[in-house]
Structure 1
């Protein structure tokens, strides 16, 4: 297994509930776990994340000041949204948004994707998307001013 350079570790309220949700609903594969630590390492189409319940280290605690997951979301590009949408419906999980088509400019190219947002049982927000390809940007990028 190749480790990603950045792997989020999400502190969850109930490891077993989250593990089941991530596997059965989101479709992640459990790579390995340490049940005694209520910890698991998961993968979905190249995306990796870790789940951890009630860590002992104070630095990881949910009582720390700050947004505790608010203001961040995780984007996962998957081959197709269809299977995930079927699993969400079977689990009676409602997406936070409708499916939309979006085009995001990167210099002179726009990257298209079908996307929607959905939350996990702890309220972590995920944007799942499937690629629609690229096209020339409708607007030319602005030139940077010289320093």
Structure 2
């Protein structure tokens, strides 16, 4: 599970629940902290920045060099909600096949930034196939 510091807790909570489809596992309102669970199993925590655990300057976009992957059963439905909200895709929905060593693994995916700039890859696995023969 990833824990992410956010600058506007209600805005971030809405992004993860309304757009990406996470539900509330539990919340600590006084701390502005929520543990979120996606129906397909992914988990994430968001909490309002409070100065604790900050290892350096917090400048947008947050999480530079970090990609949070969320596996879902219907990536196109999630992409439609992102599109309807008017958010830009960092990488538009696409099909991608990657080398897994002894085979290729395929997925439908898109990338979007959350309100603080964390990069989120929303992924649906679509199968495996043999490596191309030379």
- TM-score, scaled to structure 1: 0.81
The answer as to 2:66 corresponding to 1:63 is no
* 4+ residue runs over 6 A deviation: none
Cα 1:62–1:11 change in 2 (3 A) is: farther
* Correspondence 1:124 to 2:118: yes
* Structure 1: 5+ residue stretches without partners: 1-6, 141-147
Q: Give the corresponding residue for 1:107.
A: 101
Tell which deviates more after alignment, 119-128 or 92-101.
Answer: 92-101
- Counterparts of 1:1-147 in structure 2, within 5 Å, are 7-44=1-38, 45-57=40-52, 59-60=53-54, 63=57, 68-138=62-132
Q: Of the two structures, which has the highest relative contact order with CA contacts closer than 8 Å and spacing of 6 or more?
A: 2
- Give the corresponding residue for 1:143: none
Aligned Cα root-mean-square deviation (Å): 2.1
TM-score normalised by length of structure 2: 0.88
**Highest Rg: 1 or 2?**
1
1:27-67, Cα deviation, whole Å (9 max, x unpaired): 1111100010010000111111100102242x2366369x9
**Matched residues, number:** 132
Cα distance change of structure 1 residues 83 and 20 upon mapping to structure 2, 3 Å threshold: same
